[in-house]
Structure 1
Amino acid sequence: MFNVIFICWCSWSLEGVFGSEFVSVSVMEGDSVLLSVNITEAQRRDGIMWTYGSIPIAKLKTDNKYIYYNGTDGMFRDRLKLNETGSLIITDIRIKHSGLYYISTTSQEKPFKKFDITVYTHLAAPVISRDSSQNSSSSNCSVSCSVINATHDVSVSWYKGKSLLSSISVSDLNIRLSLPLEVENEDNDTYRCVTNNHITNHTQHLNINHVCHTCSEFSCCCGFTKAVIRLVISALVGVATAAVLVYDIRSGAVLDPI
């Protein structure tokens, strides 16, 4: 039993341009996808062939027997399944399986349906951090929203409330994508960073008090020193108090008559 997931299935007919129906499919890596067709009895008797580009991957013979091919370097091994309509199921799909898929009859090499599959990686949640590389004034704070392994039209956007402040996108690059933003330290407006591709999105809210905690080297140092001094003084006071208490107890014991 196959759990087939349809994700962002966009289909349109381009008969006049390509000479056959053309379907665009977007799917998440690791999911299964169904390349749906409904062959006629004449096509079934003729036999059908599925190819990945020009590479044969699955075949329905005239005697209704199914044949599967592993493809280059075994990339399709144990991933393919034909059903009774001639549709092709690809399980546990990977980035390397992106590309063009064709179905044709055995007697006619020209495909009667084409599929363009784009496989997306799972989008990592954005990370917001202070951007120390930017020179900010005492009242402002430079922050950056980043996402790692940005591929396939990933975009990073900053919003203030519902208003879009800035956005950046990248296509087909395995990089760390970052978008800076300058905010005021006392600004209580809601800032959020949104990362998305064609299938999914993530939102991370900016906590200005946490990210933009201003503490100069001098003030932090002095604050730490004050804390240590207070701790030492408290300890000394405690020791002195205990010493006085012990002295009073001993003095009382000496003065009491037997």
Structure 2
Amino acid sequence: MADVFGDLEAVKSVSVMEGDSVTLNSDTELQTDDVIQWRFGSKNTLIASINKGTGSFSTSHGPDGRFRDRLKLDKMTGSLTITNITTTDSGLYQIRTKMIYRFSVTVYARLPVPVISSNSSQNPSSSSSCSLVCSVVNVSDVTLSWYKGNSLWSSINVSDLSISLSLPLDIECLDDSYSCVVAYSFTNLSTHLNNTQLCPTCSECVHCCGVAEAVIRLVISALVGVATVVVLVYDIRPRKEEQQRRSSSHTD
């Protein structure tokens, strides 16, 4: 986030997960005669205040009592902490001292754990490839991605509210390097592909050597077979001719 203090019109954007705590920093130290006010929402509802001159400070429950027992003030800096934050806490916050600083807080629902399942009715052990799908439900403003190691394999994103999202993947076999990741812009959650019931491991899978390598092996085997036959033919023919000559000499 960029430093916007000193700019009355600028707003500092803050992203946070539901259930976490967030601190809105004033980035200053209060002087002996400072008076500050924290206000929330379009109606600029007063939710916290400090008067250094009188030594008084207070927090309120806010509109509809939504902040009940969840606001904490730092008496030295005037920073405001919101604990166990909820999606209804999203909005504009202002701290008013000698200047006005603004924070646009966006609270995101907690990310669901990505679920990897089979995308095929075939028996993995008899299939030439492994067809999978990674899914998440009730998400918005997220990106769903497949990674192979640290490399992005494929991805899809969505901005609609509360929908299900899925992303397919076709691989040869399970080598424990694939993972499915669901992410907001500031955090993510991943599931590693390690279920041998969905995909055979590469050590167990004959076709995992790849089509090209398999063809090469077949060609080599065929050449070895042909060479063996040729050697046997050329070895047997001289012996047969020698036997015929000996038989003919005895007759004479």
Q: TM-score, normalised by structure 1?
A: 0.62
SS in 2 for 1:147: strand
Contact 2:174 2:194 in 1 (8 A): no
Code of the aligned partner of 2:45: I
Gaps of 5+ in 1: 1-9, 214-258
> Which residue pairs with 1:165 in the alignment?
153
> Which residue pairs with 2:31 in the alignment?
41
Contact 2:174 2:199 in 1 (8 A): no
Q: TM-score, normalised by structure 2?
A: 0.63
Deviations 1:41-69 (A, max 9, x none): 3761xx22111122221122463322322
Pair 172,33 (structure 1): closer, same or farther in 2 beyond 3 Å: farther
Contact 1:157 1:179 in 2 (8 A): yes
The partner residue of 2:54 within 47, 63, 66 is 63
**Alignment partner of 1:79 is 2:70:** yes
> Which residue pairs with 1:93 in the alignment?
85
Partners of 1:32 and 1:58 in 2: how far apart? 17
Partners of 2:59 and 2:177 in 1: how far apart? 54
The partner residue of 1:191 within 167, 173, 178 is 178
Deviations 1:214-242 (A, max 9, x none): xxxxxxxxxxxxxxxxxxxxxxxxxxxxx
> Which residue pairs with 2:16 in the alignment?
27
Pair 81,204 (structure 1): closer, same or farther in 2 beyond 3 Å: closer
Percent identical pairs in the alignment equals: 48
Structure (1 or 2) with the larger CA radius of gyration: 2
Deviations 1:115-160 (A, max 9, x none): 1222233322211011259xxxx53443210123323x32211123
The partner residue of 1:203 within 190, 194, 206 is 190
SS in 2 for 1:59: strand
Q: CA deviation at 1:167?
A: 0.6
Q: CA deviation at 1:25?
A: 2.3
Pair 160,33 (structure 1): closer, same or farther in 2 beyond 3 Å: closer
SS in 1 for 2:132: strand
The two structures, once aligned, show a CA RMSD in angstroms of 3.2
Pair 209,39 (structure 1): closer, same or farther in 2 beyond 3 Å: closer
Code of the aligned partner of 2:193: L
Partners of 1:68 and 1:192 in 2: how far apart? 45
Gaps of 5+ in 2: 122-126, 201-252
> Which residue pairs with 1:143 in the alignment?
132
Partners of 1:132 and 1:161 in 2: how far apart? 24
> Which residue pairs with 1:181 in the alignment?
169
Partners of 1:144 and 1:171 in 2: how far apart? 20
Partners of 2:5 and 2:119 in 1: how far apart? 48
Q: CA deviation at 1:179?
A: 1.0
Pair 58,196 (structure 1): closer, same or farther in 2 beyond 3 Å: same
Code of the aligned partner of 1:211: L
Partners of 1:160 and 1:87 in 2: how far apart? 42
Code of the aligned partner of 1:93: I
Deviations 1:66-89 (A, max 9, x none): 232222211111111222122112
